[in-house]
Amino acid sequence: MDPKNNRALAVSDAGTVPELINSSGRGVDAYTLAKFGDCTISLELMVPKGSNSGVYVMGEYEVQVFDSFGKKKVGAGDIGGLYGAAAPKTNAAKAPGQWQSLVIEFQAPRFKDGKKTSNALFKKVTLNGTVIHENVEMKGPTPSGVSGREAATGPLMFQGDPSTSSIDSPRISTMRSICLSSVTKQGPKL
């Protein structure tokens, strides 16, 4: 996310040493230390056969990463699905082991005087050049998010459990400059 700072992620507690893939072969969650609100997230990902993972926008709203190649009918639990909320319009998945592109245009929930005034909105989600979601409102956070609470900003989380996927070249664009800090294993401070 910051080509000049390769220590821009925190990993969840994986034992005594922070590790992205642990000895049992399972992944661990990785978080940005910076928090984001409205943003566009662009990344490349490789999904192994049978893999199940996710990208949590603001640590709370999951875009599913799942081996869905070849499925005729996809649901909210398939690649690009907004977990628990909306299935992709179409299956744009590539075969396992191939690099895929994912672009997420996101609007954070709005708050005034501590009360939510509008829900989070996935303005557009594009997988491999195909628009799979437009203007999908999220009524609340996805189960298994970082805190289970909605806020105006939050970290980006790459889910590593129950299985792993490869992520390359993650980029986040916002209306302000972003400075990312060093890696830590404690996860985000919310």
Q: How does pLDDT run along the chain (190 residues), one tens digit per residue?
A: 444 554 454 444 544 444 444 445 556 778 888 899 999 999 888 888 888 888 999 999 999 999 999 999 999 999 999 998 999 999 999 999 899 999 999 999 999 999 999 999 999 999 999 999 999 999 999 988 889 999 999 998 888 765 555 554 555 665 443 333 333 334 444 4
**SS3 of residue 136 by DSSP:** strand
Q: Which domains does the chain have, with CATH numbers?
A: 9-173 (2.60.120.560)
Give yes or no for a cis peptide into 48 (omega within 30° of 0).
Answer: no
Q: Identify whether the C-beta of residue 23 lies closer than 8 Å to the C-beta of residue 152.
A: no
What backbone phi and psi angles, to 5 degrees, belong to 103? -125, 125
DSSP codes, 84-114: TTB--SS--PPPTTSEEEEEEEEE--EEETT
What are 28's strand-pairing partners?
none
